[in-house]
Chain A
């Protein structure tokens, strides 16, 4: 065995060469490995290699020339008026809206390709969808939906009450994504072709809102298709092509049943551009008409005469969760000290100054919001005192580990480490992949501090589930939330939510670093792009572009 190992045995890549060169320019080479090759002379043959090298050189020069020429012309490529191109940062990994997590998939597909029993507007309020109206029984446990007439899916199949009931029952049975949000829903049945009745086990004032999301979507009972790569829905658009690495092309659905949401533009192309700089370049060169979101700092470089730039409140909450089941963090004084010790204004300023301070678990776009930033103002002296009471000092700091996903950037970790050091907390940062975070923190609850962007709206219920990774267990909060769900009156429900949120915030099971505000930028020729909540509700049918 082991005859020659060919090239690997003798030729030593680039490295030994240096040694040879350095030793008085090749004379009397001390380079062992080069000397190791026994050299014998051979008769020269016609120089093929010269020709090959010349060819390579020629190709490279031509390629370079073409590239420069085209690079100059790149900016002139304008796109057509019947196509609006939107640049998004996050791409849905697949089209399987019943199984795949992530807000990107909802943003792109709900209301555009798939439609729900009810829909949501840009103010986060419930509006009619496939159902034009509904009645709720006085005890709040029976909902009767009256559907629109003559509805069809994009494949031509009729959409009737059977499809609606089937979709909702399948959701429960197969435990599709967010099925847990409508836990109280026990069954759906078609009373006739245009009427669906939904029965609940207990009243749930959030039900309608949840039905505007994934749980309320209606799928074609009779169609078979690969849900990951294809979509058969009833919305104003159909998916013409999709590649999560580059783009999705949507085409107006010729069989669309509705008249209110007729698409203003025939084609909508959604470009997925992960890189912030690349995104801004694409907007400036006219490759995309809209950027949502655009990095707040980079957006400042956009010309205000050409581009409309605006930021709006959303439901994204950057939650720094404290594991209440952890011994060190079971001490409320420590949790409070951390909240006093974090300078939210500074963090927001370094991010471009757009994000909103958030003092509690409910964001401003959700029912039950109130400004709770006053509960724990930035106060290092108070934080230090609390830490002293808990038995920690600069000489005897509290060691904590923060686990967060590497999708959020290193800056937040650096800042928290820096700010908490001032209140005698030695923060170790465990910067992991999102999937590792999901496993360690979310699934196993094995962490001390965790940072994640909880993007969903109406997700206060997580604070009422002791088994959720927050490990927050407060009977008062659970009771208040139950009352809020059972309340018939919206105001009354909001009041309970407010109380519950305030209790949570006071208990300090987490710090809410900031509410991420989405900055959107678009060419002024674009009309109808929603100013608010475009990260979750993106009604494409109303978007158009001036010639």
Chain B
């Protein structure tokens, strides 16, 4: 309970810190939304007029408090450019990015877990070697390149086998669920392969570790085969670590996802962020960044909690370590 309370407190402190950091960092950027709206024909007077209309000439603390007040009421503000609420904008884009990440993660797990387990279970040296090579090579491919190769292999039009649409997302969004899903398959594969190699390495290490443990030996002594012991007992032992690695993979996949969204021309959160930063639509950007960061913090919180719940050893062991220092 103490752990949960502390972690929550940390979470809230981090959120407030982040909101200030994000707010200030954005004010340092050159250029502003008024100039962008005014464009290349603008006169200085027009930019100044727009700035006043949008409240950009108010002092920074006032703007910050204004924004924070909105956040507390769940109001993320309205984009200065498009005039739409940030929530609806983020919602529309998350409908592309979120399924993409989930699909990537599913692919990564599908690749990583079985192969990682197999690498430990097999006693054949060649197989082990092959798994080793797979893990290393998979982790060394950039999402950009695997995306390109996938387009060249499997896309309509430019690919050898025209199985999937290559670039773009149906304009009706998820109305045609199958098509929307189909256009996410290649991008998800591109990020999923790299992430999968990571999960595979990790699974192999954690399970390999567990294989040395007394629990697995005990299980084998009680009559389980090595494979049974590893899958039933060993995997359970390594689960807390696997849960946290999956959480982290989720967070780390964002870079790959942004590249892949760009490559496959998907209207996701990544392209939204780049456009909004480009337009200096700061109200939108700060809320979007805040949401994103809050999401990652929340993820970290959830992973920690899950890890904690799954592995009671942490309660005693790490407190102990801290005391010594």
State yes or no: do A and B touch (Cβ within 8 Å). yes
Judge whether B167 is part of the interface by a CB distance below 8 angstroms.
Answer: yes
Residues of the A chain whose Cβ atoms lie less than 8 Å from the Cβ of B31? 433, 435-436, 438-440, 443
The answer to whether B135 touches A21 (Cβ under 8 A) is yes
Chain B residues in 8 Å Cβ range of A13: 198, 202, 245, 248-249, 252
Residues of A with C-beta under 8 A to B241 = 7, 10-11
Bound state CA distance, A77 and B122, in angstroms? 48
A229 within 8 A of B: yes
Q: Whose C-beta in chain B lies nearest to the C-beta of A437?
A: B31
The winner among A13, A68, A273 for most chain B CB atoms within 10 A is: A13
On whether the beta carbons of B201 and A60 are closer than 8 Å, the reply is no
Q: Which residues of A contact B32 (CB under 8 A)?
A: 435, 439
Are A94 and B178 in contact, with the CB atoms below 8 A? no
Given contacts A53-B109, A71-B185, A244-B82, contact A180 B41 (CB under 8 A): yes
List residues of chain A with CB within 8 A of the CB of B211: 26
Q: Is B106 engaged at the interface, CB distance under 8 Å to the other chain? A: yes
Of residues 30 through 77 on chain A, the ones whose CB sits less than 8 Å from some CB of chain B are: 31, 34, 37-42, 44-45, 47, 49-50, 53, 56-57, 59-60, 63-64, 66-75, 77
A94-B83, A245-B93 as given contacts; A7 in contact with B168, CB under 8 Å: no
Q: Are A435 and B35 in contact (CB under 8 A)?
A: yes
Task: List the one stretch of A276-284, A484-492, A534-542 in contact with chain B.
Answer: A276-284
* Contact in complex: A49, B239 (CB < 8 Å): yes
Smallest CB separation, A211 vs chain B (Å): 16
Binds A, one of B18-26, B68-76, B307-315: B307-315
**CB within 8 Å of A: which of B10-49?**
29-32, 35-47, 49
Whole-angstrom distance between the alpha carbons of A14 and B93 in the complex? 29
A19 vs B138: C-alpha distance when bound (angstroms)? 16
| CB-based contact B231/A435 at 8 Å | no
Rounded to whole angstroms, the CA-CA distance of A75 and B31 in the bound complex is: 44
Chain B residues in 8 Å Cβ range of A454: 40
Binding-face segment, A95-103, A162-170, A521-529: A95-103
Within 8 Å of chain A (Cβ to Cβ): is B143?
no
Asked if A418 CB lies within 8 Å of chain B CBs, one says no
Complexed CA–CA distance, A433 and B267 (Å): 20
Indicate if the CB atoms of B209 and A70 lie closer than 8 Å: no
**Interface size counted on chain A using CB atoms at 8 A:** 103
Chain B residues with Cβ under 8 A from A271's Cβ? 171
Minimum CB–CB distance from A541 to chain B (whole Å) comes to 22
Which residues of B in the span 271-289 have a Cβ within 8 Å of any Cβ on A? 271-272, 277-280
- A-B pair number, CB within 8 angstroms: 314
* B110 contact set on A, CB distance < 8 A: 56-57, 60
B107 in the interface (beta carbon within 8 A): yes
Q: How many Å from the CB of A131 to the closest CB on chain B?
A: 25
A175 an interface residue at 8 Å Cβ cutoff? Answer: yes
Contact B235 A21 (CB under 8 A): no
Contact A5 B318 (CB under 8 A): yes
Q: Could you tell me if B231 and A8 are in contact, using CB atoms closer than 8 angstroms?
A: no
Q: B93, B201, B209: which contacts A39 (Cβ < 8 A)?
A: B209
> A47, B178: Cβ atoms under 8 Å?
no
* Complex interface: chain A residues within 8 A of B50 (CB): 99
Q: Which of A34, A74, A94 has the most CB of B within 10 A?
A: A74
Min CB distance B226 to A, Å, is 13
Q: Is the CB of B265 within 8 A of A277?
A: yes
B92 contacts partner chain A, Cβ-Cβ < 8 Å: yes
- Does A17 lie within 8 Å of B202, measured CB to CB? yes
Residue-wise, chain A 68-111 has the 8 Å CB interface mask toward B (1 for contact) of: 11111111010000000000000001101001111000000000
In the bound complex, what is the Cα–Cα distance between A253 and B184 (angstroms)?
Answer: 36
Q: List 23 A-B contacts (CB under 8 A).
A: A5-B318, A7-B241, A8-B244, A10-B307, A21-B119, A26-B211, A34-B209, A42-B215, A44-B219, A49-B235, A56-B106, A56-B110, A67-B185, A77-B179, A96-B83, A101-B36, A175-B45, A243-B92, A247-B171, A278-B265, A284-B157, A439-B31, A439-B32
Contacts beyond the supplied A13-B252, A278-B168: 5 A-B pairs with Cβ under 8 Å: A3-B2, A19-B205, A49-B239, A71-B164, A245-B267
Task: Enumerate the 8 nearest inter-chain pairs by beta-carbon distance, A residue then B residue, closest first.
Answer: A101-B39, A228-B83, A70-B178, A7-B244, A6-B304, A26-B208, A17-B205, A14-B198
Interface residues of chain B, those whose CB is within 8 Å of chain A, are 2-3, 6-7, 29-32, 35-47, 49-50, 81-84, 92-93, 103, 106-107, 109-110, 113, 119-120, 128, 132, 135-136, 139, 156-158, 163-171, 173, 176, 178-179, 181-182, 184-185, 198-199, 201-206, 208-215, 218-219, 231-233, 235-237, 239-241, 243-245, 247-249, 252, 264-265, 267, 271-272, 277-280, 300, 303-308, 313-315, 317-319, 322
A interface residues with partner B (beta carbon < 8 Å): 1-11, 13-14, 16-22, 25-26, 29, 31, 34, 37-42, 44-45, 47, 49-50, 53, 56-57, 59-60, 63-64, 66-75, 77, 93-94, 96, 99-102, 174-175, 177-181, 226-229, 243-247, 269, 271, 273-275, 277-278, 280-282, 284-285, 287, 433-436, 438-440, 442-443, 452, 454, 456, 459
